[in-house]
Amino acid sequence: MKFGRLDKLQHGYNAMTTCDSKMLMDIGYQVMEPKEILSFIDTTKETAFVILTGQISITWDEKTETMERRSLFDENPYCLHVPVNTQVQIKAVSAAEILIQKTENEKLFPAKFYRPADVQCDQFGAGMWNGTAERTVRTIFDYTNAPYSNMVNGEVINRPGRWSGYIPHTHPQPEVYTYKFDKPQGFGCSLIGEEAFKISHNSWSAIPGGDSHPQVTAPGYAMWYSWMIRHLPGDPWNKTRTDDPDHVWLLE
């Protein structure tokens, strides 16, 4: 299944993709109530926890940090990235929503806590095509700063009425996008190969390796999405990109 919708999130874990799928990643939203306490540990998978809304206290390896986020659009995220067999406890200070990403990885590596200042933030498409593909790209971790990981985690802010994932391009590694809008009625369009999907709040796209995947948001609606890539054995995503030859003239 290349596309899906969660619509209204439920308390607890809201699954999108699994390691058993072609995406090779467990991805979902954890919705927590104030004062709720949860514990996580996985014996076969590395895990990334990214705060989306609210405030939480997160504990691992006898360390405790606070994650807080009021705006997906104006604030870089906090993220905790841990290897297998790491006990993580989350206490919700307020109602909170957390994006959880997992994949199989037997390597042991030091857990890493990313603060907003640690997140790389770039402007893509500036000054090109009359500004129709300008977007903000945030990279929490990838092969450059976390070569021990089997996955990549970042975010994109799509300005209203503009494109991202542009020009159309492919890479062999699978990728998942999870979408939210500044207004719940916001919408856009995701293209995977020749298939089109109307993006809505809390929908997602599961992109098989080798398919192109541009997308656009409707005028008047800003779109946030998380982009998560699974490295392949012996073939990590190292900013890997093959541009569609029909559209490379746009880069001239």
DSSP string, the chain: --EEE--SPPSEEEEEE-TTSTT--EEEEEEE-TT-EEEE--SSEEEEEEEEEEEEEEEETTEEEEEEES-TTTSPPPEEEE-TT--EEEEESSSEEEEEEEEE-------EEE-GGGSEEEEESTTSGGGTT-EEEEEEE-TTT-TT-SEEEEEEEEPTT-EES-S-EE-SS-EEEEEEESSTT-EEEEEETTEEEEEETTEEEEE-TT----EEE-TT--EEEEEEEEPBTTB--SS--EE-TTTGGGG-
What pLDDT, on the 0 to 100 scale, is given for residue 63? Answer: 98
Return the closest-CA partner of residue 137 out of 119, 151, 157.
Answer: 157
Q: Output the CA torsion sign for 29, 59, 63, 109.
A: negative
> Which whole-number Å values give the CA distances from 164 to 8, 223, 251, in the listed order?
25, 10, 15
> Which whole-number Å values give the CA distances from 99 to 29, 210, 250, in the listed order?
5, 25, 35
What pLDDT, on the 0 to 100 scale, is given for residue 39? Answer: 98
Return the closest-CA partner of residue 149 out of 240, 60, 228.
Answer: 228
Return the closest-CA partner of residue 11 out of 126, 105, 96.
Answer: 96
What pLDDT, on the 0 to 100 scale, is given for residue 124? Answer: 95
Task: Give the global pTM.
Answer: 0.97
Residue 117: φ, ψ to 5° = -70, -15
What pLDDT, on the 0 to 100 scale, is given for residue 82? Answer: 98
Task: Check: CB of residue 64 under 8 Å from CB of residue 54.
Answer: no
What pLDDT, on the 0 to 100 scale, is given for residue 246? Answer: 96
pLDDT tens, per residue, the chain with 252 residues: 899 999 899 999 999 999 999 999 999 999 999 999 999 999 999 999 999 999 999 999 999 999 999 999 999 999 999 999 999 999 999 999 999 999 999 999 999 999 999 999 999 999 999 999 999 999 999 999 999 999 999 999 999 999 999 999 999 999 999 999 999 999 999 999 999 999 999 999 999 999 999 999 999 999 999 999 999 999 999 999 999 999 999 999
Sheet containing strand 215-217, edge to edge, reads: 163-164, 215-217, 187-192, 195-200
Residue 180: φ, ψ to 5° = -145, 155
